[in-house]
Amino acid sequence: MQFEVKALRSGEGVCVLSVSALNENDAASVAKNQGYAVLSVKAAGAALSRFGSRKSFPLVLFSQELLSLLDAGLSLIEALEALAEKERHAESRKVFDTIISRLYEGQAFSASLQEFPGIFPPLYIATIRASEKTGGLSEALGRFVSYQLQLDFVKKKIVSASIYPLVLMGVGGLVMLFLLGYVVPRFASVYEGTKTTLPWMSQMLLNWGTMLQEHGHVMLLSLAGGLGGAIYALSRPAVREVLLLKLWHIPAIGERMHVYQLARFYRTLAMLLKGGIPVVTALDMVSGLLQPALRGQLKLASTSIREGRTISQAMETYELTTPVALRMLRVGERTGNMGEMMERIAAFYDEEMARWVEWFTKMFEPLLMALIGAVIGLIVILMYMPIFDLAGSIQ
């Protein structure tokens, strides 16, 4: 494996050496034996790992194209060279070049991918590593592509269902902000000189308009500061974890989040089991997909399976399944086809989640429209009630 060693030697100053070694300690020892004072050691692909990410590198497209070329009869290196030749992005091209050079050096494909943890997730590398033992690289790539496309489909369905309510809330919020921030202050200045007795709620609304006229800049800065603070807080992982934990405690939402996580859990587990990875190893690898509270339960379930209990018993004991899924796990244990059965469990959970999302959006959208309409209508009525009183007094 190649390492980049940043070192110092008298007469040369600071320089960067390219060293072949088994690990970072061996690379540092090689540099020290040559008379260098080692400053830092990193894998040759580490710099690429920093800029490389799953957003900038199309992992699913890469897997699909590689699968097509392998099925067409090309060797792995030939397929990667073909993909590198057509690549236009310099960063992705460097990733291809590094992987190809590692393969020519005799490294395994999974080991070369491991140099880019920001691009190739551990599940992907584990699937490739397992396929290298059986010679089924094409099958492993096909399983990953199918797995990722199904996950993306579920995510897109949830996102598309939430777009309309979010747009509705955004537009309704802007209308209310316009009324409270622009129209109400104008009405307050009109009514200020009149001695008409206003209803209590109208008076409160006009007092708000007067205060906004006098201290508008301060309130605007406070609003901007509050929004900025909220955005910063949401960007912190600890805050997001606390909010997710609060959502888990809401009965209806928490139950759906539990089902969604179980769907991802079983689908990923199915992919790994089909790739030939032992069940205990696979359970340890997928623990990161679960919410922190469920990770502890999964760890206990994994320990229980190591001690000789069946998968269905362990999952039932530590609440990592549902009654329907439990029956399917027992069928999988009897038939010896746990990978296929877990994929069916994930599909069952996905369908259940899709039905709930559809029901929720159909119920939530009209309620949201009615609420926004009622609030806007109330503001308008409260602004025009003094006009009605003035018209009655004139008559």
What pLDDT was estimated at residue 368?
83
Structure tokens at 55: 């957003």
Q: What residue spans of the chain are helical by DSSP H? A: 24-33, 46-51, 59-71, 76-86, 90-104, 109-113, 122-134, 137-178, 184-191, 200-235, 237-248, 251-274, 279-286, 292-306, 311-317, 323-335, 338-394
CB count in 10 Å sphere of residue 43: 20
Cβ pair 382, 205 in contact under 8 A? yes
Quick one: average pLDDT of 330-344?
A: 87
Residues 6+ apart with CB under 8 A from 151: 264, 267
Supply the mean pLDDT for the chain: 79
CATH fold of 2-44 reads Ubiquitin-like (UB roll) (3.10.20)
Which residue type, as a one-letter code, is found at position 89? Answer: H
Q: How far apart are CA 194 and CA 3, in angstroms?
A: 81
Residue 29, CA distances (Å) to 5, 8, 39, 105, 107 in order? 10, 14, 12, 21, 22
Which of 2-11, 16-25, 255-264 has the lowest average pLDDT?
A: 16-25
What pLDDT was estimated at residue 55?
58
pLDDT bucket at 322, cuts 50 / 70 / 90: confident
CATH fold of 151-395 reads Receptor-associated Protein (1.20.81)
Residue 50: is its pLDDT beyond 50? Answer: no
What pLDDT was estimated at residue 196?
59
Output phi, psi for 309, to 5 deg. Answer: -75, 155
Domain-wise residue ranges, the chain? 2-44, 51-120, 151-395
Residue bearing tokens 């061996």: 26
What pLDDT was estimated at residue 49?
46
More confident residue, 78 or 353: 78
What whole-number percentage of the chain has pLDDT above 70?
84
Structure tokens at 375: 């609030």
Rg (CA), the chain: 30
Supply the DSSP symbol for 183: I
Cβ pair 282, 273 in contact under 8 A? yes
Question: Residue 67: CA atoms inside 13 Å, Cβ hemisphere, count?
Answer: 17
Quick one: average pLDDT of 52-80?
A: 82
What pLDDT was estimated at residue 26?
64
- DSSP for 311-335, please give it: HHHHHHHTT-S-HHHHHHHHHHHHH
What pLDDT was estimated at residue 283?
84
What pLDDT was estimated at residue 190?
66
Quick one: average pLDDT of 117-140?
A: 80
Residue 292: is its pLDDT beyond 70? Answer: yes
Query: Which of 49-53, 205-209, 313-317 is predicted most confidently?
Result: 313-317
Residue 225: is its pLDDT beyond 60? Answer: yes
Quick one: average pLDDT of 354-375?
A: 83
What whole-number percentage of the chain has pLDDT above 90?
0
What pLDDT was estimated at residue 43?
66
Residue 54: is its pLDDT beyond 70? Answer: no
Cβ pair 38, 14 in contact under 8 A? no
Cβ pair 315, 303 in contact under 8 A? no
What pLDDT was estimated at residue 47?
46
More confident residue, 11 or 371: 371
- DSSP for 63-79, please give it: HHHHHHHHHTT--HHHH
Query: Which of 45-54, 247-256, 385-394 is predicted most confidently?
Result: 247-256
Q: How far apart are CA 114 and CA 79, in angstroms?
A: 19
What pLDDT was estimated at residue 243?
78
Residue 1: is its pLDDT beyond 70? Answer: no
More confident residue, 120 or 253: 120
Residue 205: is its pLDDT beyond 80? Answer: no
Q: Which long-range contacts (CB under 8 A, 24 or more apart) does 149-154 make?
A: 149/60, 150/267, 150/346, 150/350, 151/264, 151/267, 152/60, 154/260, 154/263, 154/350, 154/353, 154/354
